[in-house]
Every structure is written in structure tokens, then in C-alpha cells.
Amino acid sequence: MATVATPSTGEAVRAEAVRRPPKKPWWRGKILPTYVVLVLIYLVTPILVMILYSFNQSHAKLPQVSFKWQGFTLHWYADVDGIPGLGHAFELTIILALLASITSAIIGTFLALALVRYRFRGKGATEQVMFLNIAAPEIVVGAALLSFFVILSSNIAILHSALHPGFFDLFLAHVAFCIAFVAITVRARLAGFDRSLEEAAQDLGANAWVTFQKVTLPIIWPGVLAGALMAFALSIDDFVISNFVAGNVETFPLWVYGIVHTGLPPQVFVLGTFIFIVGFGIAIGNLLMTQRKKKEKA
Amino acid sequence: MEQPVRADHGVAVRRKPKGRAGKRLAPYLLSLPGGFWLIVLFLIPLVMMLFFALETGDVLHGYQLTWNWGEFGQQLSLHKTEFLRSIWYAGAATIICLIVSFPLAYWIAFHGGKWKNFFLLMLLVPFFVSFIIRSLAWQFILSDQGIVLGTLKNLHLLPQNFHILATSTAVIAGIAYNYLPFTALPLYVAMERIDYRLIEAAGDLYSSRREAFMRVVFPLTIPGIFAAFLLTFVPAVGDYLNQQILGGVSNTMIGTIIQTDFLTTQDYPAAAALSAILLAGVLVLIFLYGRLLGSRTIEEYV
């Protein structure tokens, strides 16, 4: 009965603290929220510009985004495949991101399981390497990978065709920079895991694989999915590392980079809008789902 | 971990020895693919890059390892300006990011209420659009006759020859925009952890709101500030896209030099030496951070 800090009294104290100063000027407590909204508008501005200009008409001979607003059109959406090379680059980026995110989600989840549940030789070292992998500037990682591929493919004949900069190198590189991010995401999810559920399954006669499949995986699944989505986002957006290891292969960001100096076709903004809508849609959906779950629990 | 064995639990008892051996091997099997991938495609390449820097030769005749340690000093003095400029741009952008994000993170952490997650998602919104398209959009917005400058010039609020693109300001602004979430999120994480009751306690002990902020909130966010600094400054210093799109030829950063040396002139040893120097600088920063605050903590902010 006489508990000192039950949540409700804490809440009451907090509410009182907020209510306490009655004589504050009208602008008190309005400046910060306004500021926050302004910063968020600033963050969204280039995205709105991208979406807006994907509807802008162009009277130039070549399809090229014009700085001036020349009227609304859906032409670029209908003609999204009208630029040679762009569609192919986009497709390649999506395939690469899918492969890299699935691979790194599996490998990263295993790594997270090992790191959370066991003490083993090399655990500290593994954590240090993961940390370095995340902290190192992308350009250094890209330069190192290019050095590696150049040295291997020029010195070892068998590896020449396999490791000559191209799609396979992109895949290897993308998985390499996604693993650590996935492992950290999944590890955060595993930290609050109730091990007694697994023990219960084993007491009921399930072997290690069945336990993993029927108990562990469903529980950590949201974490694995979050990690995979993160890897997908990292891969689809990667410019620097891809720039170094891609060779003649062009991903979507690399294609855009290549075209910048000759003039940007509006289709780039169309595809950018497409990626944004899908990604943002998934994120909002995820947010609403967790919100609803919270409500159900409450 | 020893599991309780019950005599009546035949299955469990029989499986036990195998389970034990499996348990000893399990962590190695689980971490094998990830560890292997990170060693072969991250650590070994870093070492190879170091060796590359010590080679001499050219593209046509190939490179030989001649332990040419002089390359480092030579490249450093050759590109001193670009190194210093990169540090200045990244540093300025990071400080802008810290100043802009601090009130932002503070408000979301303490007053976000049930909208907290929505605000955090809005912070991440830029990541749903390709890095390069974001920079291109800024190029659009800031272009000499674009939406902002064009309008201001038409109103005669700015001289006709005024421009932002191709200046240091544009590059710093571009970097600050693109890395703002990297600053805001660690700050938010640090503030979110502060127990609100501490601030109330300060108030109960007759501190003013300003004092409560300066003596309670601010000291507790210092680890977050360091993490935010590291997570913003390190990628920013190697960035070359913002400089190439928003800047001009007169404000080349070290990233562009490395990119050109590697991909255009194919002077591999020079490029490898430059990125090794960059890596060394970053390692010093990370080491200092680890010394001050422990190396594990930064992962919590990622």
C-alpha cells in the first residue's frame, strides 16, 4: 500500500511539475515545438522537391529536368522506361539489394546468436571488428576492397574473371558492410529474450533445430526482419563502396552519378519517388502495427 | 549452462552428451560465416591496401612491393590542403549538426509524448531517398536561378551575380544536411536514457530550469555528444559526393583525390596511401573515444 514510487504517483508528480509555473509568457513551450517542426520540414524539403519535379514538364529536346516549373505532367511516369540503361541499372540495384539483404540477414542473425548467448574465444575481437566495420569511413572500405580485388585478380589467374570488378564483387562488398548492422539490430532484439521458452520446448522433446524453428525464430523474427530491411536500405542507397568495386557495372546511384554532368532525366526522380514511397510506406505500416500492438497490450 | 536433469525424462538424459559437445561448438559454428566474411572482405582488404601503398610502379608495367614508406609522407604533403579542407568542412558540418540537433533531440526525448516514434521516423525520412538524389535536389534548390535564389533575385533582394553553389558554404550545408540524422539519433538515445525524475529532483532542490539543464541534462548527454561527433565527422570527412555536386573545382576534398587516383589515373599506391592515412586518423579518433568512454558504448548509439 505504502509504496513510495508507484508509476501513478510518478505521473502525478510529473504532471504537477509541468503545471507548476502559472505565470509563464504565452510563447513559453511553443518555441521548441515550432523549431522541431521547422527542422523536420527542412529534412523533408529535398524529398518534396524530388517528388514535385518528377511531375514537371520539359520542353527541351532531350528529356532533362528543368529548373523552371513548366506545368504538371504524368509523362515521365508513363515513360519511365524511356531512358536506355536506367531501367537496367534500377533492376540490378534491386536484385543486388535483395541478395545482399537476405544473405546478410542470415549470416548476421547467426553472428548475433553467437554473441548474445555464448562466451567464446575471439568474441571480443569479433565485436571490435564489427565496431571498426561500422565506424570506418566508406571510402576507406571501398578503397580497401578495390585494392583487394585488384591484387587478387591480377595475381591469381583463376580468380581473374571471378573477382574482376563487377556484380559478384558488388555482392561480396554489400554483404560485408551489412553484416555488422544486421547483427547489432538482431542482438538488441535477443537481449530481452526469455530463454525458459526454449528450455520448455526442449523439455517437451524438441531437438535443437525444431526449437530454433518453432520457438526462437518466431520470437526474434521482427528483429531479423528489421535487420534485413536495414541491409536492403543500405545496399540500395550505397554509392561510395559501389563506386569503387563496380567496375563497368552500373547500379542506380552510379548511373545517376554518371549522368549528372550531361543533364538529369526526370525519370530518375520518378524512380527515386518510387523507392521513397515503398520504403516510407513500409516504415509507416510498421510503426502503426507496433502502435496497435501496444494498445492491445494496454 | 547446466540444465536440471530429471530421472524420469529419458529423452533429455540420452541427448545430453551430444548436446554438450554441440554447445561447445555452437558459438564457433554460428559466428563462422559472419566472422569469415568480415575477415576476408574487410580486415584482409585493409591490410592489402596498406601493402599497396608500399608498392611502386605504374599501371602499364605493374606494381612491385618495394616497401616504399616515403609514399605516405609524400602524399600527405602533396595533398595537405585537401586533408585540411576535409577536416574543416566535416568539422564545421558536424558542429552545425550538433547545434541543430541538440534542441531537436531534447524536445523529442522529453516532450515527444506519444508522437515520439513518429518524430523519430521523420528524422529518418531522408534515408528513404538515395544519397545522391538528396544532394541533387539541393543542387536544384540552391541553383543560381532556382526556386530560392531566382525568386530573391527577381525581388532584387540579392544581387544578380550572387551564388551559393560552388562555394564552401554549399558543401558544408550539403554535408550538414545529409549527416544530420547521424547526429540527432545518438543524442536522442543519450537523452532518452536520462531519468526525468533527476530533473524534477533538481527542481525540488531549488535549481532554476537553466541550472537543471546545465548541471543535470547536459553532463549526462556528453557521451551521446561524443558518439554523435564520431558518427557524423568520420563519414563526413571521407565524403566526396556533396563536394562534387554542390561544390566546384576550387574546394576539392580528400575523398575526390582518392577516387580520382584509384579510378581515373589508377595511381593505386598513392590512393592506397591516402586512404590509409585517412583510416589512421579515424582510428586515432576511435581510440580516443574508446579510452574516454569505453568501446562498447558506441554500438548502443548506432
| Shortest Cα distance, chain A CAs vs residue B45, angstroms | 5
Is residue A90 within 8 Å of A271, Cβ to Cβ? yes
| Shortest Cα distance, chain A CAs vs residue B299, angstroms | 7
Choose, out of A19, A147, A187, the residue to mutate when testing the contact with B (most B CBs < 10 Å): A147
Q: How many CA atoms lie within 13 A of B6 on its CB side?
A: 6
At B15, the pLDDT band (50, 70, 90 cuts) reads: very low
Segments in chain A below pLDDT 50: 1-10
Query: From the list B9, B108, B298, which residue is nearest A36 (CB)?
Result: B108
Q: Say yes or no to pLDDT of B11 above 70.
A: no
At B296, the pLDDT band (50, 70, 90 cuts) reads: low
Q: CA torsion angle for B169, B173, B175, B177 (degrees, to 10)?
A: 180
d(CA B184, CA B232): 10
Domains located in chain A, CATH noted: 85-191+226-265 (1.10.3720.10)
d(CA A237, CA A276): 11
A276 neighbourhood in chain B, CB within 8 Å: 128-129
| Shortest Cα distance, chain A CAs vs residue B199, angstroms | 10
Asked whether the beta carbons of residue A151 and residue B48 sit closer than 8 angstroms, the reply is yes
Asked whether the beta carbons of residue A176 and residue B46 sit closer than 8 angstroms, the reply is no
Is residue A111 within 8 Å of A179, Cβ to Cβ? yes
d(CA A100, CA A234): 10
| Shortest Cα distance, chain B CAs vs residue A36, angstroms | 6
Query: From the list B41, B118, B200, which residue is nearest A287 (CB)?
Result: B118
pLDDT in the model for residue B93: 97
Q: Which fold has domain B78-301?
A: MetI-like fold (1.10.3720)
Instruction: Flag whether residue B206 sits within 8 Å of chain A, measured between CB atoms.
Output: no
Bridge partners for B62 per DSSP = B58
Closest by alpha carbon to A140, among B79, B280, B263?
Answer: B280
pLDDT in tens, B75-96: 999 999 999 999 999 999 999 9
Asked whether the beta carbons of residue B27 and residue A137 sit closer than 8 angstroms, the reply is no
pLDDT in tens, B29-61: 888 899 999 999 999 999 999 988 888 877 767
pLDDT in the model for residue A121: 87
What is the radius of gyration, based on Cα positions, of chain A? 25
pLDDT in the model for residue A19: 52
Instruction: Flag whether residue A139 sits within 8 Å of chain B, measured between CB atoms.
Output: yes
Is residue A166 within 8 Å of A247, Cβ to Cβ? yes
Q: Say yes or no to pLDDT of B146 above 80.
A: no
Tell me the C-alpha to C-alpha distance, in Å, between residue A214 and each of A111, A210, A218, B19, B231: 20, 6, 7, 18, 38
**Chain position carrying cell 531549488:** B206
Tell me the C-alpha to C-alpha distance, in Å, between residue A143 and each of B152, B217, B257: 43, 41, 12
Residues 60-119 on B with a CB inside 8 Å of A are: 62, 100, 103-104, 106-108, 111, 117-119
How buried is residue A171: exposed, middle or buried, by Cβ count under 10 Å (0-12/13-18/19+)? middle
d(CA A174, CA A101): 8
Q: CA torsion angle for B183, B184, B190, B191 (degrees, to 10)?
A: 150
Query: From the list B132, B259, B302, which residue is nearest A256 (CB)?
Result: B132
Q: Strand B55-58 and strand B62-65: pairing?
A: antiparallel
Q: Say yes or no to pLDDT of B4 above 50.
A: no
d(CA B284, CA B251): 26
Residues 247-286 on A with a CB inside 8 Å of B are: 252-253, 256-257, 260, 264, 268-269, 272, 275-276, 279-280, 283-284
Residue of A nearest to B134 (CA): A46
Residues 6+ apart with CB under 8 A from B35: A111, A122, A126, A129
pLDDT in the model for residue B107: 92
Task: List % helix, strand, coil for chain A (3-state, nearest 5).
Answer: 75, 0, 25
Q: Angle, nearest 10°, between helix axes A123-135 and B10-38?
A: 40
Tell me the C-alpha to C-alpha distance, in Å, between residue B169 and each of B62, B142, B145, B230: 41, 11, 17, 22
Instruction: Flag whether residue A13 sits within 8 Å of chain B, measured between CB atoms.
Output: yes
Residue of A nearest to B140 (CA): A67
pTM > 0.90: no
At B116, the pLDDT band (50, 70, 90 cuts) reads: confident
Residues 96-125 on A with a CB inside 8 Å of B are: 106-108, 110-111, 113-115, 117-120, 122-123
For B19-52, give one letter per residue: b (16+ CB within 10 A) or e.
Answer: beeeeeebbeebbebbbebbeebbeebbebbbbb
Is residue A21 within 8 Å of A29, Cβ to Cβ? no
| Shortest Cα distance, chain B CAs vs residue A94, angstroms | 13
Query: From the list B43, B118, B134, which residue is nearest A46 (CB)?
Result: B134
At B5, the pLDDT band (50, 70, 90 cuts) reads: very low
Q: Say yes or no to pLDDT of B207 above 80.
A: yes
pLDDT in tens, B154-198: 888 888 888 888 889 999 999 999 999 999 999 998 898 888 888
Closest by alpha carbon to B152, among A71, B143, B176?
Answer: B143
Asked whether the beta carbons of residue A139 and residue B259 sit closer than 8 angstroms, the reply is yes
Domain regions of chain B by residue span: 78-301
A-to-B residue pairs, Cβ atoms closer than 8 angstroms: 271
A242 neighbourhood in chain B, CB within 8 Å: none
